[in-house]
Each structure stands twice: as structure tokens, then as C-alpha cells.
Amino acid sequence: MFVIVSRIPMKTLFFFAATVVLLPACHQSVIPEKDRPVQIDTMQLIAPPATSVKVASNEVYVVSRDSTTYIRFGDCYFSLDWIKPDDKRNDFELHPDTLFFLLDHLHTIEGQMLAVTTGETEKVRVSQCYETSAVIEQEPLLNWKHYRSPWESLNAEASNFFVCKKYSAAERTRFPPATIANLQQHVKQHGSPAHYALVAQLDNFPAPPVHIAISRYYIRLDGLSKHLSNKINKLLIIEVAFKG
């Protein structure tokens, strides 16, 4: 039996060998420095962008990237999805401990994973509560009665993981005692004629087009610096959007 071997020029063999060596390298893309993940304890997050929405002398920073907002105070970072800073109400210079945010329409913080990195601060404690309002169609009555739930501590799933509490249907509809006459009087004095025309026909409260719903979430962060007596005491107030 004969084996036939064709003659291949040496230049062709060299080109083929070089191609085999270099081909895998062509598929290894270089990750830009700004897009590389940064390790925060046991959780990987995309590094916050360099440009902040607002920078204040008290070192409170709010930075948004894609659907995630990062809040920095001192050496602590806090991040949550689907919220945006309320620039009309925030004043980082005069009120750095109370921060206002707007929740994106059709989104919730319930069940979300909170990421907190503490740096030189002792372990941060995180608490959550909510507030309900009467809602006429898609307009909450923010200047009328509200129900505020008690604060509940969130248990850390890991060193920097917290899961926002979810609420039941019964919890979402809790409201202080009120009558339809109370509602009609308030809307007549402070609401629009169109809303008053809707509630003036009602015999009971709540009844369509009026319902009770969560209109605000509150998140509180408390901690103490390892080497200083400075306390971390931040309150995040998150307004729910009822329309896009």
C-alpha cells in the first residue's frame, strides 16, 4: 500500500501554522477599564460612572447608570434598581440625611436586592416601611389621610445583601378610618372639579374609581464609623408612579 504525500511549499505551511496560533487570540476581546466589574464583598457590581448627577460638599453622591442608581455617603455605597433622584426635592447641602427618589412606572422595590458596602463603617442596619394613599383613577391624594406601616428590619442575606420586603394584598389596602363624606369634602376643597364629579356620586369608600394603594416606600440606613463617632443615619423616600 502506498501513501501519497503532496508537496506543500514552506511559506504555505508557515502561514497556516501562524493562523492557527493567532486565531484564538482574535476572539479574546479586551474589556475596557471603565466597564470592568468591581468586587464589593461577595457581590459584583458594575463600577459606577465617573460623572455624578449631583455632588455636594457633604460628600453625598447620586449616580445613575442604566436601571441602577448608586447612592454614596462617606465611605458607604447603596444601590437599588428603577429609582431616580427627585431633583426638585433633594438638597444635599442642607438636608444630606433625607434623600428623595422617584420609582419608575410599573416597577417596585419589593423583592429587589439591595447592595450595601460599608467600607470603614460598622455593619449597616437597614429598615423598611411603606405608606398608603387614596387614589382617584391614577392620582394619589398626597395631602389627605395616609396609613404608615411600622418599621421592619431587613435581614442580611450575606455581608452586603438585603432583600426588600414584599407586602400582601391586605397590607397594601390598610388605611385610617374615613368616610365617603370626608373624602368628598377634601376633594371639593383641594381637588379638581373632574375628581369631585367622580367622588360626588359615590356612596361608599373606597369604591371605584377610588382605591387604596402604596404611594411611598421608606428605607432607613443606620450605622457607626469604626474609628470615629460619626453616625450613618440616612432616610430614603421613594415615591410610587401611578402613571407613565
What is the structure's pLDDT at 2? Answer: 39
Encode pLDDT of 91-112 as tens digits. 888 888 899 999 999 999 999 9
If you average pLDDT over residues 201-223, what whole number do you get? 95
The CA distance from 126 to 25, in Å, is 46
Distance between CA atoms of 180 and 177, rounded to whole angstroms?
Answer: 10
The proportion of the chain whose per-residue pLDDT surpasses 70, expressed as a percent, equals 70
Q: Where residue 225 falls among pLDDT bands split at 50, 70, 90?
A: low
Q: Give tens-digit pLDDT for 28-53.
A: 444 454 444 433 333 334 344 454 44
Task: Find the helix or strand (DSSP H, E) in which 17 lies.
Answer: helix 10-26
- Across the chain, mean pLDDT equals 79
Residue 229 clears pLDDT 90, i.e. is over it: no
CA distances from 70 to 16, 31, 57 (A): 50, 22, 18
C-alpha cell at 98: 433625607
pLDDT in tens, 149-187: 999 999 888 777 899 999 999 999 999 999 999 999 999
- Confidence at residue 77, expressed as pLDDT on a 0 to 100 scale: 80
